[in-house]
Every structure is written in C-alpha cells, then in structure tokens.
Amino acid sequence: MQQRIVIINCSESVIQIKGKCTAISVEQGNKLGVIVNDVIVSTFELLNSTKTQIQLNSTCPTMTVDNSEGVQIFLGFGVDEKFELLTCKSNEINIYKQKALGEDYSNEIPVPEQFKSYFDESGNLKTVAVRHTGA
C-alpha cells in the first residue's frame, strides 16, 4: 500500500495493475490502456496523454486529467459512488459505468469541456457547463 506507480512515455500497450497502491501517475501515454484491479488510496493522475483508456475496477477517490485528449474512463460497478474527476486543458473525455457486476458498461457519459461564466444578481461570478440542447 505504500507504493506509488509512475508510468512515463508508454505507448500502444495495456498495463494491468494488481494490488492496493497509494497513487498512480501516467505521463505522456499514447494509445495506452491501464487496468487497475484493486484500490487506489489517493489519486490516479493522467498527464499529457492521448487516446488513453483507464479501467478502474475498485475504489479510486480522485482522478485528475491534465492536458490530455481522447480519454475513456471505465468505472466498475460501485466505483462511481466515491469517485471525483478533475479536468484541466483536456478534451474528448468520456466515462462509462458498469450498472451491475458482470454486465457491460452503459452508454458513454461525456464530460463537459465548455463552460459559461456570468455574474448573478448579487454580482457573484458563476460558472456552469454549457448545455447543448436540440430544437
């Protein structure tokens, strides 16, 4: 559990991680798949990566995605209950959730990448995700 895993400059590979760890950091991944079977105590960081798939089969309280594109996050059954995603300078991020143990992952859930900021009646700045609605 005292282990921190760092994966740097890895491409066109699938990495499977077994065993509990403190944190995982992936930097400069390209066409990379990472499967995590056990608990991550702290965070999963994805930095400067493209076309990356992450599958979390157990608890991961926080995932950060920074300066990355084409990220697909697969959350095993129940993982979404204690999961937060923080994004910065990233696009094309989709989350897939498993509805029940052993079932396929549900439809994709896109993570907003466009935001609108405005001042409310009290003069406070508010920021919300842009909603794309059809006519």
- 82-93 tens-digit pLDDT: 899 999 999 999
Q: How far apart are CA 19 and CA 30, in angstroms?
A: 24
pLDDT at 135 over 60: no
| pLDDT 10s digits, 35-85 | 999 999 999 999 999 999 999 999 999 999 999 999 999 999 999 998 999
Q: Is 75 helix (H, G, I), strand (E, B) or coil?
A: strand
Q: 6-20 pLDDT, tens per residue? A: 999 999 999 999 999
pLDDT above 90 for 130: no
Angle, alpha carbons 107-134-99 (nearest 5°): 15
Bridge-based pairing state of the strands 50-56 and 43-47? unpaired
